[in-house]
Structure formats: C-alpha cells, structure tokens
Amino acid sequence: MKKTNLLAILLIGTIFNTKAQTKAVMKWFNEPKVWSNEENRISFTVEPNTDFWQITHYGFKRDNGPFYFAEQNGDFKASVKVTGAYTELFHQAGLMIRTDEKNWIKTGIEYVDGVQNVSAVVTREVSDWSVVPRDDSPKSIWITLLRKGDYVQIEYSFDNKDFKMLRLAYFKQGGKVQIGPVAAAPGKKPFNVIFEDFKIESIKDQ
C-alpha cells in the first residue's frame, strides 16, 4: 500500500554535542508506485528502467531512479542500513548526496556478475564508478556518508561495527544539498529494498 505522508523521523544533532530528535520533511524525487514509511523503516519496489548516470562510457544520461531525501545545510554525517533483493545486473541501493542532475554522489550496493559490489559513483558533469567486489552476498550493508568542507567521505560495514573507507571525493563546499536513500533498476526486472535507521547528524567543530 502506498503512503503519501512525507514526514520521517531523522536524528539531527552534532558530533560533539548532544543529539536532538526532530521531524524533518522528506520528499520524493521520482516517487515509486509502491512504497511504505514506518518508524525508522522505508521500503519500496524499485521499478525497472531506472538509473542515475551521466555520459561516461555508456554515452547516455539517466536521472529517473527513486530518491527519498531531506535537504541539509553545512557539514553533516548521514547513515543508513540497506537490505535489497538484488537479482539483475546493476540492481543498486544506498545513499545519495545531490545538488542537481550534474552534481551528485551515490554509494551502496550494486549487483554485478552475480555478486554484490560495494559501489560509489561520483558525478561532476560526467560520472565515474568504483567498486569493491564481494565473493558473497551479505544480507545488509551499513553506509555512512560524511560531508565536510569540500569533500565527501564514504565508509561501509557489514556488521555495523567494523567500518572501512570506500571513497573520499571532492564535493562543492557550502550550500544546501539533498541527502537520503536511493535505488535504481536499470534493466527489465524490479526489486524490493528496505532502508532502516536513516539519520543525519550535523557537525559543528568546537
């Protein structure tokens, strides 16, 4: 059943001070047909022929995947747990930070050659892609995305304890950005995905 309530609970606070719980408006970019939003849990069916990509290697532009985001200023750390039923080449789910169609970073799991790959795509006019292949298919992945100054740092874990750095990439400093869960299914098959415990923590240096 589709829910149209666009409010979700985020934890917004600081790294060095106490965290305050508040409500923040969440919005859809390319809203999926089937989705639900329960406390600390967002689930939806990712429809086929959806993707985010700009030009490189494939020569095409895609900007039609489902993206459920909040708007955030300044430095922050975002995190989420992702569980997806990936079955087809390039099924993907994770986090995205975005200013517009030509400036964004997405990171998470991307399904390639029958296994899950920890993936990051950095787009500044054109897209690049980096992966860490897995020899198994973990049930879930935990992702953190730190935006600070002129960079974004991505870390991942399969147990929510041991985090490894995947990527450190340039991202334009200052200004409001969109941040939140993202997914895509570039092929012909849909898939289901669950995002849990999505939160944003504002960072203020002392």
pTM: 0.88
- The DSSP element (H or E) to which 88 belongs, if any, is none
Confidence of residue 25 (pLDDT cuts 50, 70, 90): confident
Distance between CA atoms of 152 and 51, rounded to whole angstroms? 21
- The residues, ordered by sequence, that sit 6+ positions from 90 with a Cβ below 8 Å of its Cβ are 51, 110, 111, 112, 184, 185, 186, 187
Give the CB-side neighbour count of residue 47, counting CA atoms within 13 A. 11
Task: Tell me which of 18-22, 51-55, 128-132, 200-204 is least confident.
Answer: 18-22
Domain ranges, ordered by start, for the chain? 7-202
Query: In the CATH scheme, what is the code of domain 7-202?
Result: 2.60.120.200
